[in-house]
Amino acid sequence: MSDDIEIDTDALEKRMDGALNALRGDFSSLRTGRASASMLDAVMVDAYGSPTPINQVATINVPEPRMVTVNVWDKTMVQAVDKAIRTSGLGLNPVMDGTILRLPIPELNEERRRELTKVAGQYAENARIAVRNVRRDGMDQIKHAKNDGMSEDDQKIWSDEVQDLTDKAIAAIDAALEAKQAEIMKV
C-alpha cells in the first residue's frame, strides 16, 4: 500500500518558486537610484471612488536613467495621481506639465541606502517565512500519509526531498537578497 502514497513535490516546489517570484517583485519596487517603471507598481490612485493601480490610469515611461514620466490619460485625474505618488512613501516629488508628471529620481544618500537594505531584508524574511510554511504543509502531508500506511523509509525519503526543496528555495532567496543589497549600496 505504501507504494501508492506519494507527496506532490511539484506543487510544493511551485509554491516555493511563487514566494521567490513575489520577492523579486517586491525588490523591483525598491528604488536604487536608477529610474524604473516598476517602482510605481504599488502606487494606488483614488480613481472614480475606488483605489486603482497607477498603470490603469496612466502610461509610465523611463526616458532617462534618472527620470520617470507618468502620462495621465484623463485630465481630471492628474491631481489624484500627483497626490498618490507624493503620499506613496517613495520619496518622489512629481513636477506637473499638463497631463504629464515628471518624477526626477534623486541620488540616494548613505542613510537612505541603509534603510532600503533593511527593507530588502524584511522582504526576504517574508519570503523565507512563506517557504517555511510550504515546507510545513509538505511535512503535514507526510504525517497524513504515515496514517494512511506510508513506511518509515518512505517518510524519510519524502522528508529529505521536501527539506532539499526548502534549502534550495532559501538559498535562492539569500542570493537574491545579497544581489539586491549590493545593488542598493552601489554608489
Which of 104, 119, 151 is at the close of a domain? 104
DSSP 154-184: HHHHHHHHHHHHHHHHHHHHHHHHHHHHHHH
Within this chain, do residues 81 and 141 fall inside the same structural domain, yes or no? Answer: no
Number of domains in the chain: 2
Confidence at residue 116, expressed as pLDDT on a 0 to 100 scale: 83
* Full domain range(s) for residue 176: 2-27+109-185
Confidence at residue 8, expressed as pLDDT on a 0 to 100 scale: 85
Confidence at residue 2, expressed as pLDDT on a 0 to 100 scale: 41
- Which residue do the cell numbers 518558486 mark? 17
Q: Which parts of the chain have pLDDT scores under 70? A: 1-5, 31-33, 187
Q: Give the count of alpha carbons within 13 A of 18, CB side only.
A: 10
Q: Is 186 helix (H, G, I), strand (E, B) or coil?
A: coil
Confidence at residue 91, expressed as pLDDT on a 0 to 100 scale: 73
Within this chain, do residues 159 and 100 fall inside the same structural domain, yes or no? Answer: no
